[in-house]
């Protein structure tokens, strides 16, 4: 069975085949000396303000990200820079790139890091010039003997690439990590659009400084809009290791990711390095799959190859959904997703994702329940929890599946289906799952749940995150998200891993804070909800409450 995970909005929810281990996480990042009570303890965030190209170099993980040094709202876009030795504990360094040249005076926008054949790292990034035209630029470390690569200098040959004829100068951005072809030349793709349709333009270079556009794009779609933050990388057909970006061969397929419509979509296909032709299995927005990295708040992602651990790691920016006034009060806006390892599924048609193993270092005490039977409409409180961060794994065993309701083929969009059949709508098999950060009276909570449907001789498992009761406030986003899971409940248990953070369920506690009367009641981190017969096994361990 192929197993893959879905992270829905800020919470990280992962589907596993038969997991029973669960734990929660200890605080790993010092909280700034300012009132910021709702910061997450295990998602990466800058110390303050608004928060591009990750890289592993000489034993150090580097995370570059778009950053406003002067405030929590978008503007003055620079490149923030933090380093880590384990992807968990981070040290914030000085800003790596600031907009101070004519070719980037209106912002140092997204880009990517590449390790050159000499072993020297290089950054390609988009600059917005004095006319707000988008140009591609190059930067190098100022001192390679500095293990932290704390200072960067821009190339005197900038800008290297300008919008070609027929391309809107405001739609030419976000260079990918470069790869080297069989001819010894570097290649990079730039996100763009033509006639309001997305495409990835290829540029080639022999020296990484002089670039020429190829005659044809890597890929084009007439069913999408502008592609932002394109990512192109190889994945192995018969291995559990990630691949360096320049790897090619018979047992290799390639993934192309494009960010559009507030989602990160991807396709899988075969790439010919001699002709730069890329043939995909199913194109963007075609067919039933419509593959996405994530089905909630997850955008502008970047991957990189971790050579020390032979894995490809994926990161994404998460927009929390707060209002601008909330961001100003908090002092920051945005965070990074939990880093995920990504591989090709066993049948080679999609990706599988899982949190990096280092996250397990944060687990502490366990709280465990086994063989809990949930009757229809029942709610079971998981007691003994005193933390605001938790790593929860729970496995559901189902019986009498023939009683599952028939799936209405007129409603095939999972988000629409989750909205119509939200957590308050009872069905034959669902909703069952978790209520996280729920108030004692169950007026406020975020529901993470499943439903099982019959579809002919098959079953469809729907996973939903229902935020409709996550806050009493009317001015916060309460979108309901959903996705179908590639799992047959006749042959596999339904397992859920939930990384619950103080911030990621931000509306629940933020509502109390905004009332200016402090923590007026203890919030319970999770309840089990269920219909029909469900056997549940789960173990948990939790953090101390953040003060």
Q: Residue 368: its pLDDT value, please?
A: 82
Looking at the chain, the whole-number percentage of residues with pLDDT higher than 70 is: 77
Q: Residue 41: its pLDDT value, please?
A: 58
pLDDT in tens, 352-377: 998 899 988 888 878 887 887 777 66
Q: Residue 44: its pLDDT value, please?
A: 61
Tell me if domain 50-160 and domain 363-542 are identical in fold. Answer: no
- Report how far residue 138's alpha carbon sits from residue 531's, in angstroms, rounded to the nearest whole number: 57
Q: Residue 274: its pLDDT value, please?
A: 94
Q: Residue 142: its pLDDT value, please?
A: 97
pLDDT in tens, 468-478: 998 888 888 88
Task: Name the phi and psi angles at 339, rounded to 5.
Answer: -60, 135
- More confidently predicted of 213 and 287: 213
Indicate the pLDDT class of residue 40, thresholds 50, 70 and 90: low
pLDDT in tens, 104-136: 999 999 999 999 999 999 999 999 999 999 999
pLDDT in tens, 514-537: 222 222 222 344 555 554 333 333
Region of poorest pLDDT, from 118-122, 169-173, 264-268, 507-511: 507-511
- Report how far residue 215's alpha carbon sits from residue 188's, in angstroms, rounded to the nearest whole number: 14
Q: Which residue in 264, 248, 229 sits closest to 112, CA to CA? A: 229
pLDDT in tens, 296-344: 888 999 999 999 999 999 998 887 777 777 766 766 666 778 899 999 9
Q: Average pLDDT for residues 42-53, to the nearest whole number? A: 54
Q: Residue 227: its pLDDT value, please?
A: 97
pLDDT in tens, 201-246: 999 999 999 999 999 999 999 999 999 999 999 999 988 899 999 9
- Report how far residue 357's alpha carbon sits from residue 308's, in angstroms, rounded to the nearest whole number: 14
Provide the CATH topology of domain 363-542: Jelly Rolls (2.60.120)
For domain 50-160, give its CATH number from 3.40.50.880, 2.60.120.260, 2.115.10.20, 3.30.930.10: 2.115.10.20
Local structure of residue 360 (DSSP, 8 states): G
Mean pLDDT for the chain overall: 80
Q: Residue 75: its pLDDT value, please?
A: 66
The pair of structure tokens assigned to 519 is 């923590």
Q: In what order do the strands lie in the sheet containing 12-16?
A: 12-16, 494-500, 390-398, 534-542, 367-374
Q: Residue 282: its pLDDT value, please?
A: 93
- More confidently predicted of 439 and 348: 348
For domain 168-306, give its CATH number from 2.115.10.20, 1.10.357.140, 3.30.70.870, 3.30.1360.120: 2.115.10.20
Q: Residue 4: its pLDDT value, please?
A: 26
Q: Average pLDDT for residues 96-101, to the nearest whole number? A: 96
Identify the sign of the CA torsion 417, 420, 423, 429: negative
For the chain, which residues make up each domain, given as ranges? 50-160, 168-306, 363-542
Q: What is the CA radius of gyration of the chain?
A: 23
Q: Residue 356: its pLDDT value, please?
A: 92
* Residue 414 in this model has a pLDDT that exceeds 70: yes
* Residue 18 in this model has a pLDDT that exceeds 70: no
Identify the sign of the CA torsion 140, 141, 145, 149: negative
Indicate the pLDDT class of residue 463, thresholds 50, 70 and 90: very high
Q: Residue 185: its pLDDT value, please?
A: 98
Beta-carbon contacts of 388 under 8 Å, excluding residues fewer than 6 positions away, are: 41, 501, 502, 525, 543, 545, 546
E strands, 439-533, are: 446-455, 458-466, 481-485, 494-500, 524-530
pLDDT in tens, 182-197: 999 999 999 999 999 9
* Residue 17 in this model has a pLDDT that exceeds 90: no
- End-to-end CA distance of the chain: give it in Å, rounded: 43
Indicate the pLDDT class of residue 43, thresholds 50, 70 and 90: low
- Report how far residue 480's alpha carbon sits from residue 416's, in angstroms, rounded to the nearest whole number: 8
Q: Residue 420: its pLDDT value, please?
A: 93
């Amino acid at each position: 069975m192929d197993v893959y995970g879905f992270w829905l909005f800020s919470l990280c929810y992962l589907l596993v085949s038969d997991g029973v281990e669960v734990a929660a996480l200890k605080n790993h990042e010092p909280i700034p000396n300012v009132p910021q009570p709702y910061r997450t303890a295990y998602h990466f965030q800058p110390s303050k303000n608004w928060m591009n190209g990750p890289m592993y170099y000489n034993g150090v993980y580097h995370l570059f990200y778009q950053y406003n040094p002067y405030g929590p709202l978008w503007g003055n876009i620079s490149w923030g820079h933090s380093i880590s030795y384990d992807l968990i504990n981070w040290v914030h360094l000085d800003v790596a790139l600031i907009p101070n040249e004519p070719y980037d005076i209106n912002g140092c926008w997204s880009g990517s890091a590449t390790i050159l054949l000499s072993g020297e790292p290089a950054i390609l990034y988009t600059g917005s010039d004095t006319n707000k035209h988008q140009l591609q630029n190059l930067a190098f470390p100022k001192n390679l003997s500095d293990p932290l690569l704390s200072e960067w200098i821009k190339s005197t040959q900038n800008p290297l690439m300008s919008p070609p004829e027929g391309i809107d100068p405001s739609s030419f951005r976000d260079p990918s990590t470069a790869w080297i072809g069989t001819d010894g030349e570097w290649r990079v793709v730039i996100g763009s659009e033509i006639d309001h349709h997305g495409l990835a333009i290829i540029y080639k270079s022999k020296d990484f400084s002089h670039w020429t556009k190829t005659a044809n794009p890597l890929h084009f779609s007439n069913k999408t809009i502008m592609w932002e933050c394109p990512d192109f990388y190889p994945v192995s057909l018969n291995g559990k290791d990630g691949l360096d970006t320049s790897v090619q061969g018979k047992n290799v397929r390639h993934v192309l990711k494009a960010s559009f419509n507030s989602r990160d979509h991807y396709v899988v296909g075969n790439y010919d390095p001699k002709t730069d032709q890329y043939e995909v299995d199913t194109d963007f927005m075609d067919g039933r799959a419509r593959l996405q990295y994530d089905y909630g708040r997850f955008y502008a992602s970047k991957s990189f190859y971790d050579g020390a651990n032979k894995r490809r790691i994926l990161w994404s920016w998460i927009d929390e959904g707060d209002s601008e006034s909330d961001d100003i009060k908090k002092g920051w806006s945005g965070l990074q997703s939990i880093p995920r390892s990504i591989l090709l599924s066993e049948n080679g048609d999609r990706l599988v994702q899982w949190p990096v193993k280092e996250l397990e270092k944060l687990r502490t005490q366990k709280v465990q329940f086994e063989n809990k039977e949930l009757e229809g409409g029942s709610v079971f409180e998981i007691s003994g929890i005193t933390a605001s961060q938790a790593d929860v794994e729970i496995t559901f065993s189902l019986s009498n599946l023939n009683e599952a309701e028939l799936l209405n083929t007129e409603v095939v969009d999972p988000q629409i289906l989750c909205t119509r059949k939200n957590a308050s709508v009872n069905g034959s098999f669902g909703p069952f799952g978790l209520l996280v950060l729920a108030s004692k009276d169950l007026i406020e909570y975020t529901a993470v749940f499943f439903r099982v449907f019959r579809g002919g001789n098959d079953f469809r498992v729907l996973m939903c995150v229902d935020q409709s009761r996550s806050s009493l406030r009317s001015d916060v986003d309460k979108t309901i998200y959903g996705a179908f899971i590639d799992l047959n409940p006749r042959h596999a248990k339904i397992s859920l891993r939930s990384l619950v953070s103080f911030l990621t369920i931000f509306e629940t506690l933020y509502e109390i804070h905004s009332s200016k009367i402090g923590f007026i009641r203890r919030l319970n981190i999770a309840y089990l909800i269920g219909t029909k017969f469900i056997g549940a096994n789960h173990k948990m361990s939790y953090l101390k409450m953040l003060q």
